[in-house]
Chain A
């Protein structure tokens, strides 16, 4: 992966840029010393690092607006950052850009139970939103594994998912409104507390736009009443096929579980060794099925799912008897990434989605690729919605290992697309999958997306180098090509 070549003239203007930012955010809001910049060099995708010109940490929308307006007027690139937990390099700094950190926007502004929503600043953590409403029996549904650290602003930028999004949706399905600052410094409000958009659904467009369209400075999220009960099942299978078929059977039976996760044997072993969740370490595949709702429903559906699993050969079945056991079942899955981090010096987490019917085929091919590349792999899988997370194990200290891991990952994602799936289910394209966009989209598709970028940020200063393999100049994309010459479909009636 290569980032666009930095502009040396911008790097040379560091002093001037820092002074301008300090004028907008006085005090300690601008970081420019080498030591202070180290924590900002990378995000959750730690394979890539870059020191920015400076980091600015504003506290008000007005400051954000002034920073962006100044950078816009001066041609300075800006990389927005929440908690920096992106797994696709969305917050990777640019050598010739500044990082705009939203960590000081950490207040819950309003909780409105009558309208079942909360208005929060973007630096509030995902779990912090639930924290603000749980005393009244509410919660915020999307739950990425990094929820203790990741911020709601970052969730909006990445359209984050989590283990419960099969039933409750991604971030985009749980947002009502936001305040957005454009690269020009203009501030717009999208949505509010009403359910439908007026005019174009720009809120939906901005969600998941990976920090390329604007900087979110306030978010209104939907909060939900907690389900009355939740039960989790652990189902161990001697074959991957048995587990995969059970997932299909559950959905076919009309059951949409709150969570439906799968782990393969290496992932089971790593998680069990790390947290001791009681997983069957000899199983080829493990399903974690969570059912929530009224107690009567949970009891009925637990019985149903157990029966379906038994028919597919499940030889390990455990149902959570209480809340602490349910959480323990999840602890292994939620800690799967750090658990794998203990068995290899480094790992790459992939994020393709596939039609579920292709699962046995895809896992089989991943095993073959693992042997071909000589790199280990552990698979965790949001099985209900087909979102696959192969964790490729490598050692960055071994020359060539990173490149091998990148190539292995690219092969997996190409395979996902080839079987009818997509490059990323929830982690975003970022820099990691940027160069693979051509696997899914042709030049015209990408041009249509880039023109949206141009409508929001025509000078391409906001988070450039992410998402698009090549950023074309907006003037070039904006041209209307009028095709003259041969008339296609001469038999068609005309005007």
Chain B
């Protein structure tokens, strides 16, 4: 629950962050860490004494396009990061989503928040997740110590890869104060091929054919009718979409190859350039599900079995990541959603309407707890945030 009466502090230096965390530890107090605050509604949080916002840690530290490296403070807004790198023809290849409309929040997400939640968009199937582009950081641990890990070059195996640990830790281990990420050239051209009217099982087949050929598909999604109805598609039937990106001649050649491979799947249309970008932005933001009051689930699944998860659960589903990511609106009990998902070799995150994370048990659960204690033994940071129930 977000308690609006709790004081919000916005430190401007890592040293100020350090002092606040160290003092909180000494006084047995608890801190909620926020970037843009747009995902605060995801997951439960035990009561805190203080909200620490990274919004004023918002300096661009170094951008070296020719080295493919960007170093910023975590409070830099995503919109500013993307504008900065786009001006040099580059991008964050993991295509981070905002999810603001989806979860009904206000404000602008920050890069620190995106990394802390390991948020990745449709290109994840080709370019990897946020964690794959996270090269180094400086942070304040729950012990109130300033420390760093990784580096500011694209290839580095010196010491433990704590970037992977921070990505997806939802602020429960440390407060990032500086982050270095890999940037990549943005594609010159993109085309999205659209297949119409395929039932889920046929769509999954088509996506597998596309993914298993040499066409370097950079996004593959399947939308049910209600999601395909929106602009720019305006389709009154289920629609399967496959994106190809790169140099113009290459995209054209791959479009031809893929069209030939998908003969037998009916009429195929194409979206180019801006229309394609607009379409994938909708998929990335799961716009079709915004504003729906039903519990909202994000299922991470083995791609080829993805469609079977929602199939075993009544509700509405759409698929990204070639089936590896299923978005689901359902009234089914959380235990059932998690059990069906786990049975298929995946796991479920609830963004609204039920506890966000699953409970952890056994040796793995104990290991998680020891990792948390290694960085935040007093439980100062985001208490209860990653805890699951049911």
- Co-assembled chains A and B: yes
Which residues of B124-170 have CB atoms within 8 Å of chain A's CB atoms? 124-125, 128-129, 131-132, 141, 143-149, 151-165, 167-169
> Which segment of A120-128, A266-274, A348-356, A391-399 sits at the interface?
A348-356
Residue of B nearest to A195 (CB): B324
A115–B304 Cα distance when bound, in Å, is: 6
A354–B146 Cα distance when bound, in Å, is: 24
A295–B247 Cα distance when bound, in Å, is: 12
Determine if A353 and B156 form an interchain contact, defined as CB atoms under 8 angstroms apart.
yes
Contact residue among B156, B167, B325 (Cβ-Cβ distance under 8 Å from A204): B167
Determine if A357 and B67 form an interchain contact, defined as CB atoms under 8 angstroms apart.
yes
Contacts of A299 in B (CB 8 A): 249
A227–B215 Cα distance when bound, in Å, is: 8
Determine if B124 and A195 form an interchain contact, defined as CB atoms under 8 angstroms apart.
yes
A456 to nearest B CB, angstroms?
7
A321 within 8 A of B: no
B242 to nearest A CB, angstroms?
14
| Given the contacts A202-B371, A385-B155, A194 and B346 also touching, CB distance less than 8 Å | yes
B332 within 8 A of A: no
B115 to nearest A CB, angstroms?
12
A82 within 8 A of B: no
| Given the contacts A448-B149, A495-B29, A489 and B249 also touching, CB distance less than 8 Å | no
A426 within 8 A of B: yes
Contact residue among A196, A256, A300 (Cβ-Cβ distance under 8 Å from B250): A300
Contacts of A189 in B (CB 8 A): 364
> Which segment of A41-49, A55-63, A246-254, A281-289 sits at the interface?
A246-254
Contacts of A194 in B (CB 8 A): 300-302, 324, 345-347
B215 to nearest A CB, angstroms?
8
> Which segment of B99-107, B206-214, B265-273, B311-319 sits at the interface?
B206-214
Contact residue among B69, B162, B250 (Cβ-Cβ distance under 8 Å from A293): B250
A8 to nearest B CB, angstroms?
31
A265 to nearest B CB, angstroms?
24
B188 within 8 A of A: yes
Contacts of B363 in A (CB 8 A): 182, 186-188
A484 within 8 A of B: yes
What 0/1 readout, one digit per residue, does chain A (353-372) give for beta carbons within 8 Å of chain B? 11111000000000000000
Which residues of A180-219 have CB atoms within 8 Å of chain B's CB atoms? 182, 186-190, 192-205, 207-209
A475 within 8 A of B: no
A254–B372 Cα distance when bound, in Å, is: 40
A324 within 8 A of B: no
B65 within 8 A of A: yes
Determine if A494 and B364 form an interchain contact, defined as CB atoms under 8 angstroms apart.
no
B23 within 8 A of A: yes
A228 within 8 A of B: yes
| Given the contacts A198-B347, A382-B155, A452-B374, A116 and B212 also touching, CB distance less than 8 Å | yes
| Given the contacts A170-B155, A382-B155, A200 and B67 also touching, CB distance less than 8 Å | no
| Given the contacts A294-B254, A488-B19, A445 and B7 also touching, CB distance less than 8 Å | no
Determine if A455 and B371 form an interchain contact, defined as CB atoms under 8 angstroms apart.
yes
B288 within 8 A of A: no
B303 within 8 A of A: yes
Interface size on B, residues (CB 8 A): 106
The SS class assigned to the B binding surface is mixed
| Given the contacts A194-B302, A353-B153, A482-B25, A199 and B158 also touching, CB distance less than 8 Å | no
| Given the contacts A425-B155, A441-B148, A492 and B302 also touching, CB distance less than 8 Å | no
> Which segment of A157-165, A329-337, A339-347 sits at the interface?
A157-165
Residue of B nearest to A427 (CB): B157
B45 within 8 A of A: no
| Given the contacts A195-B124, A295-B253, A492-B11, A467 and B159 also touching, CB distance less than 8 Å | yes
Which residues of B151-208 have CB atoms within 8 Å of chain A's CB atoms? 151-165, 167-169, 173, 184-186, 188, 208
B22 within 8 A of A: yes
B81 within 8 A of A: no
Which residues of A133-191 have CB atoms within 8 Å of chain B's CB atoms? 137-138, 158-159, 161, 165-166, 169-170, 172-173, 182, 186-190
Contacts of A170 in B (CB 8 A): 155, 157
Contacts of A357 in B (CB 8 A): 64, 66-67
B26 within 8 A of A: yes
Residue of B nearest to A304 (CB): B247
A444–B140 Cα distance when bound, in Å, is: 11
Contacts of B208 in A (CB 8 A): 114
B156 to nearest A CB, angstroms?
4
Determine if B66 and A248 form an interchain contact, defined as CB atoms under 8 angstroms apart.
yes
A357–B68 Cα distance when bound, in Å, is: 12
Determine if B132 and A444 form an interchain contact, defined as CB atoms under 8 angstroms apart.
no
Determine if A297 and B367 form an interchain contact, defined as CB atoms under 8 angstroms apart.
no
Residue of A nearest to B128 (CB): A173
Determine if A448 and B158 form an interchain contact, defined as CB atoms under 8 angstroms apart.
no
| Given the contacts A225-B214, A445-B149, A493 and B7 also touching, CB distance less than 8 Å | yes
Which residues of B24-48 have CB atoms within 8 Å of chain A's CB atoms? 24-27, 29
A75 within 8 A of B: no
What 0/1 readout, one digit per residue, does chain B (338-349) give for beta carbons within 8 Å of chain A? 000000011100
| Given the contacts A426-B157, A437-B159, A456 and B252 also touching, CB distance less than 8 Å | no
Contacts of B371 in A (CB 8 A): 200, 202, 205, 452, 455
Determine if B158 and A423 form an interchain contact, defined as CB atoms under 8 angstroms apart.
yes
Determine if A200 and B168 form an interchain contact, defined as CB atoms under 8 angstroms apart.
yes
Determine if A225 and B213 form an interchain contact, defined as CB atoms under 8 angstroms apart.
yes
Contacts of B335 in A (CB 8 A): none
Determine if B386 and A199 form an interchain contact, defined as CB atoms under 8 angstroms apart.
yes
B9 within 8 A of A: yes
Contact residue among A195, A199, A423 (Cβ-Cβ distance under 8 Å from B129): A195
What are 13 A-B pairs at a CB distance below 8 A? A169-B132, A192-B346, A199-B368, A293-B246, A300-B250, A353-B154, A423-B158, A427-B157, A437-B158, A478-B377, A492-B20, A493-B7, A494-B23
Apart from A187-B363, A423-B158, what 19 extra A-B contacts exist at CB < 8 Å?
Answer: A173-B128, A195-B303, A199-B360, A200-B165, A204-B165, A225-B214, A251-B66, A256-B184, A296-B250, A297-B253, A300-B247, A355-B64, A356-B67, A386-B155, A422-B156, A424-B157, A425-B157, A445-B149, A449-B149
7 nearest interchain CB pairs? A204-B164, A297-B250, A114-B304, A254-B185, A193-B302, A451-B374, A455-B370
